Structure 1
Amino acid sequence: MGNSQSKTVLYAAIRQDHRLHGMSGRALERKHGVTWRTVRKALDAQWPEPRKPQRRRETRLDPYMPLVDGMLRADLDAPPKQRHTAKRIFDRLLEEYGARDVSYGMVRAYVARRRQEVRREAGLGPAAVFVPQSHAPGAEAEVDFGDVHIVLAGEPTRAFLFSLRLSYSGKAVHRVFASCGQEAFFEGHVHAFRVLGGLPRGTIRYDNLKAAVQRVLGLTRARAENERWTAFRSHWGIDPLYCLPGIEGAHEKGGVEGQIGYFRRNHFVPVPQVASLAELNALVDAWDQADEARRIGLRTGTVGQYFAQEQPLLRGLPGEPFETGRWFTPRVDRYGQVSVRSNHYSVPVRLIGRQVRVLLHANDLAVYDGRAEVARHERLIGRGGSRLDLDHYLEALLRKPGAFPGSTPLEQARSAGRFTPVHDRWWEAARAAHGDAAGTRALIEVLLLARHMEHEHVVAGLAAAHRVGALTADAVALEARKAADTELGSLAPPAPRHPARAAGTNVTFLEDWRLSHLPPDTRPLPSVAPYDQLLVRRPAADRKEGP
């Protein structure tokens, strides 16, 4: 613990004893072994006074420092092999300036510190040297994240591009995620290994990502790893090599950093506009395949040709899968929602008050009640958002139709294109014909059809029913079935038995549909002739007279 930190703890202990136990100044001095001045400072201020900087002591070299600086500045324009060394500067100070009281050690220490400062003051910075490296096929790879900007469902969004690059061939596999958390880190690896058909036999280079590293243990490559990352790399047989922290390790995985820059400049310009991350990742897969035709630097072959040589040398994949998602067990609140990572997601309202299991992945999440999946959502980016599925609230809205028009699930369904203008027109006509409550209930019954039928077929049924004024859920269901049968190439339903209805409409009503599906009736028409015999009047002689 540093001196400043220990003094802060001492001040806090003194204030606590004074405030809670009412200890006097003299008692505080005796307990903590300090003087009255320290007690007074602790009671007056929360933070210790910063240590006063020590005044630099003058040395015998001070009068000659400007001369040494001038020699170092002159070296900036001199040939590299004809620049001053510390020994040459010391000799010149003795011969030309008579600096007899200056030692060589003093000059050497000053030159070692001052030479780099002079370069930086001139805007040159420290000299950088890059040594070419050779990589064996199938031996090494590099992994990193880079941020990209996209337009997701009409909204400018920042996403994260995962990249795994084989060092020998330069073959890279990319994946776009909503975050760069541990779920994305794991899923990016799994996707890359499956695309490559294996993984390197040697090391994979990483920087100090929080998804893998909990703590850097000094200026070495030793790391305190995240427990899930240790289990993941053990399952796949990954041998990690962590880059040095800070600027010293910035060059150690330059291949993947350059690859991310190339991929971003060539495929994310102009900014992609997509409806979902799944759509964008389909494009990314195609771009990865197309990039196999490019050449890197002065190589004689393409990336794909080098990868064809490298792929057989990769190590095989394990037979058992590894669950990359993270499990949560939230409780469903009274709004039919669960909270995961500071965002809210809807579930069927029948689960209100129950504890469910949530499997969170990088781009989506699934909700389970026991072993049954009850909901699936695309993962939200950021915090404090909500993603609500209108279908989850339909049973509650049947009982409370007045809450339907202003509901948040309805607004999100409109934004996502699931609640179309066709729905609105049919709903408005149904309310005008049956009243607000009954018309809204009819619409909710139509929305329930989407659990058993395709959304497009239901919309087609709504449009057909609205054209002829058929404002019941039964009529919409029949027209949706007709649209589905037409798409599948099946025969159209038989004509209705009521010609008057069929004359001005192409909509099949429920009664007609039921009659059309009955088997043909070959029985003769009934006759009432036997009953007519009872109507023949008997002769008067046969009638018995009454009293």
Structure 2
Amino acid sequence: MRSKIMLFEQIRRDSRVEGLSVRALAKRHQVHRRTVRQALASATPPESVRRRWQSKKIDPFVEAIDAMLRSDLTAPKKQRHTTVRILARLVAEHDATDLSYSTVRSYVNERRQEIWAEIGRPLTEVFIAQTHQPGAEAEVDFAELWVDLPNGRTKCYLFTMRLCFSGRAVHRVYPTQSQEAFLEGHIAAFAELGGVPTMHIKYDNLKSAVTQVLFGTDRRRTENERWVLFRSHYGFDPFYCIPGIEGAHEKGGVEGEGGRFRRNHLVPVPKVKSLAELNIRLAKADRADDHRRISGRLATVGDMFGIERLVLRPLPTEMFEPGLLLNPRVDRHARVMVRNCQYSVPAKFIGRRVRVHLRAGEVIVLHGRNVIASHERSNGKGAQILDLDHYLEVLKYKPGALPGATALVQARAGGAFTPAHDAFWAAARKTHGDAAGTRELIDVLLLHRHMAAADVIAGLTAALSSGATSADVVAVEARKQHPGASQTAHPVDHGGALKHTVVSITQRRLADPTAVIAGLPPDTRALPSVAQYDELLSRRNTGSDASDSVKGNVS
């Protein structure tokens, strides 16, 4: 329209300034003389008149086409007439051999819209603008996400909860879309927002919440019992959208939020050591987004959330356990079966029933009230997650099983069993033999239970540097690394020179007293005597006293 306005202005100017005729103006501007007359009559170009479809060939078949289109009003969506099918029926039933596909298509496209509009159901969906009250509504959804973890690029899922009034959103990443992740996402979001929406939260028909969709006008659903318990605990109602893509607009805010957040904060693909580390980054990104302004709003997200936060329902005082509670029995390999995966527990619990809290990213095993094992949850079926520490007591008397143990392979792969451990093990076996050397290594591994891993590794390095292959030496050196331990070295005088050495009490006690062990000088002291302790005896049994006593008894 703008270019036509400029054309009319040029025609009117040339006519006014140069006095050109209609024919000359049409030739100069290369338009029809009718257009020149329109321009001279009015500076505003006339609106384009929509060409009404006219065809004498289709007139005899209009009623038949309309009948087919009206039958589609009650037909299933995937079994309605297409233009190809309408033309085929016209040829077969009405002998319409002269009609072309384009002629029928033009009529059908226009007439179909009119027929559906007559009953108040236009084919083009109409959206109604909504006004949301502060603290009343929220929306929840999962979105796919790729993350570079130590074991490679992994497909994960981005949980998003978005408040409808302010647009404030909370994002967390989980390895699955399981119910445990679904509930943990809610708990994290409620804690971050500081409350719970007072009206309802909108959802897709996720299996974590809905076990069956009961089709009808009242949106009835059969809900999962654990989900009902969860929302009863936090005191909110669900709103389930229409199944499929047709219901996506009912929670359009969170549908767009997942993509926006992923493009702005998760590109390029994040590279992290764990999902816990990534979730810390996401929490910071959520707070940074408080400064953004949503299109069409004057206030920032943070300003509007400041209003909304005051009217959210307070959180319950008691925490809800999001993990699924299981009660498996420990098998003879000291493992429990959880969701087709096996996780190790200390060997002393073999044959007993234990309690398992299965969470989105971890598996917690309890015996009574005590946590006896904790593992990162595996997403693969048939996986074995074994902790070498759980088998140390057994390996103490079965040292030959250690070299081929699956737990050892996993400890090496995970970095818990370091090259320093391997070097100590090799040196210990060379000095003490395979069985005794392996037991010394196991004693070192037992130190990890009450000492920091860095301290134990430092102790291993110090022991190896002095040629010692005893767990006692490693323990002493590891304690020196502890922040609370004294860092003062004990020098040993060798001919006037001070030298720092590693002392093994066990080796010193068992060795030849005249030998120099671990840098100690020969021990020339006499053996101690206990003769003075005889004074403590209440009676001395001398020979004469004993004989007199016997004679007196006989007489």
- The answer, yes or no, to whether TM exceeds 0.5 is yes
Quickly say closer, same or farther: Cα 1:182–1:104, change in 2 above 3 A: closer
Query: In structure 2, which of residues 489, 502, 505 is the aligned counterpart of residue 507 of structure 1?
Result: 502
Residue of structure 2 equivalent to 1:419: 417
Secondary structure in 2 matching 1:138: coil
Post-superposition offset of 1:107: 6.5
> How far off its partner does 1:82 sit?
5.6
Match of 1:247 in 2: 245
Q: Distance in 1 between matches of 2:227 and 2:308?
A: 27
Aligned equivalents of 2:313 and 2:354: distance in 1? 39
Report the counterpart of residue 300 of structure 1 in structure 2: 298
Q: C-alpha displacement at 1:321, in angstroms?
A: 2.1
Query: What's the offset of the Cα at 1:245?
Result: 1.1
Residue 134 of structure 1 and its aligned partner are, at CA, apart by 2.0
Deviations 1:122-147 (A, max 9, x none): 9xx96344333221211110001112
Deviations 1:142-192 (A, max 9, x none): 001112111222322111111110011111111111211111111111111
Q: Does 1:469 align with 2:430?
A: no
Q: Which whole-Å CA distance do the structure 2 matches of 1:506 and 1:301 have between them?
A: 70
Counterpart amino acid of 1:465? A
Residue equivalent to 2:162: 165
- 1:443 alignment counterpart: 441
Cα distance in 2, alignment partners of residues 322 and 439 from structure 1: 49
**Corresponding residue SS for 2:250:** coil
Query: What SS is found at the alignment partner of 1:382?
Result: coil
User: What's the TM-score once normalised by structure 1's chain length?
Assistant: 0.72
Q: Percent identity?
A: 50
The 8 Å contact of residues 142 and 206 in structure 1, kept in 2 or not, is answered as: yes
Q: 1:492 to 1:127 in 2, by over 3 A?
A: same
The code of the aligned residue for 1:507 comes to V
Task: Tell whether the 8 Å contact from 1:219 to 1:244 is kept in structure 2 after alignment.
Answer: no
**C-alpha displacement at 1:210, in angstroms?**
0.3
**1:228 aligned to which of 206, 226, 233:** 226
Distance 2:248 2:49 in 1: 29
Alignment CA distance shift 1:466-1:302 (3 Å): same
Shift in Å, 1:462: 0.4
Structure 2, gaps ≥5 residues long: 1-46, 74-79, 85-104, 114-122, 510-525, 530-555
Q: Letter of the aligned partner of 2:313 in structure 1? A: R
Residue 101 of structure 1, CA deviation: 10
Cα 1:137/1:365, change in 2 over 3 Å: same
The 1:104–1:432 alpha-carbon spacing in structure 2 relative to 1, beyond 3 Å, is: closer
Task: Give TM-score, length-normalised by structure 2.
Answer: 0.71
- 4+ residue runs of structure 1 moved beyond 3 angstroms? 79-84, 95-105, 110-119, 125-131, 496-506, 511-514
Distance 1:378 1:321 in 2: 22
C-alpha separation in 2, matches of 1:501 and 1:409: 50
Which of 179, 192, 201 is the matching residue for 2:176? 179
Map of 2:372 onto structure 1: 374
5 Å matches for 1:90-169?
99=60, 102=63, 106=67, 109=70, 127-169=124-166
Q: How does 1:343-362 map to 2 (within 5 A)?
A: 343-362=341-360
Find the aligned partners of 1:109 and 1:166 in 2 and give their Cα distance. Answer: 42
Q: Is the 8 A contact 1:333 1:353 kept in 2?
A: yes
User: CA 1:104/1:160 → structure 2, altered by over 3 Å: closer, same or farther?
Assistant: closer
How many angstroms apart in 2 are the aligned matches of 1:178 and 1:80? 57
State the aligned residue count. Answer: 427
Match of 2:512 in 1: none
Structure 2 residue matching 1:344: 3-state secondary structure: strand
Residue ranges of structure 1 left out of the alignment (5+ in a row)? 1-78, 515-524, 529-547
Cα deviation 1:230-274 (Å, max 9, x = unaligned): 111111111111001123212111111111111212222121222
2:394 corresponds in structure 1 to 396
Q: Cα 1:377–1:502, aligned 2, differ >3 Å: closer, same or farther?
A: farther
Give the aligned residue type for 2:382.
G
Is the radius of gyration larger for structure 1 or structure 2? 2
- Contact persistence 1:154–1:275 (CA under 8 A): no
Maintained 8 Å contact 1:208/1:245? yes
**TM-superposed deviation, 1:438:** 1.3
SS in 2 for 1:475: helix
Matching residue of 2:552? none
Q: Could you tell me how far apart the structure 1 residues matched to 2:481 and 2:376 are?
A: 29
Of the three residues 315, 318, 333, the one matched with 2:316 is 318
Flag the 1:116–1:342 CA change in 2: closer, same or farther, 3 A.
farther
* CA shift for structure 1 position 492: 2.8
